[in-house]
Amino acid sequence: MESIVVIGSDHAGFTMKQELIEKLKENGFVVEDKGTYSEESTDFSPIAQMVAETVAADERKRGILVCGTGIGMSIMANKIPGIRAALVHDLFSAKATREHNNTNVLCMGARIISPAMSWEIASVWLHTDFLGGKHAKRIQYIADYEENKTK
């Protein structure tokens, strides 16, 4: 099965996003770029929504979002039912958020970390599996809450 990464950024994250796309493709990932497509000022919210909705609709896909800090993207992405987005700026958190939280969207800040670090984080995150077990119960609690609140 091919690994599909849906990626998006605002203007602040555009350059980092482009570098991530290149690294993802070099490493065999299929990439769906949801924008933005330039450094012209743009709102992060619609892009985060588009990436998150695409990921929520297909459990085989994972998303990566980049803005200046990653905060706005993570807030918006987490509004979409079925999304577990994490703001990550270090390797330990990249691994832990996949193992323990089964996150499906990774958010990073282009004004916080270097492009090289963003790739290291993304690589760890993409190559780490969910541990399940006691963590699955916790994730189910979140899913149940979401389902009851969106009815």
How many angstroms separate the CA atoms of 132 and 143, rounded? 14
Residue range 68-103, pLDDT digits in tens? 999 999 999 999 999 999 999 999 999 999 999 999
The active-site residue, picked from 11, 89, 100, 135, is: 100
Helical H segments across the chain, by residue range: 14-26, 44-56, 71-77, 91-101, 115-126, 134-149
Domain that holds residue 35: 4-149
100 is catalytic: yes
What's the number of domains the chain is made of?
1
What angle (nearest 5°) sits at the alpha carbon of residue 126, between those of residues 25 and 90? 110
Q: Is 107 a catalytic residue?
A: no
**Cα 36 from Cα 92, distance rounded (Å):** 29
Q: For 14-49, how does the pLDDT look when each residue is reduced to its tens digit (9 = 90+)?
A: 999 999 999 999 999 999 999 999 999 999 999 999
Can you tell me the distance from the alpha carbon of 91 to that of 4, in angstroms, rounded to the nearest whole number? Answer: 21
CATH code of 94's domain: 3.40.1400.10
Which of the residues 67, 107, 127, 135 is marked catalytic? 67
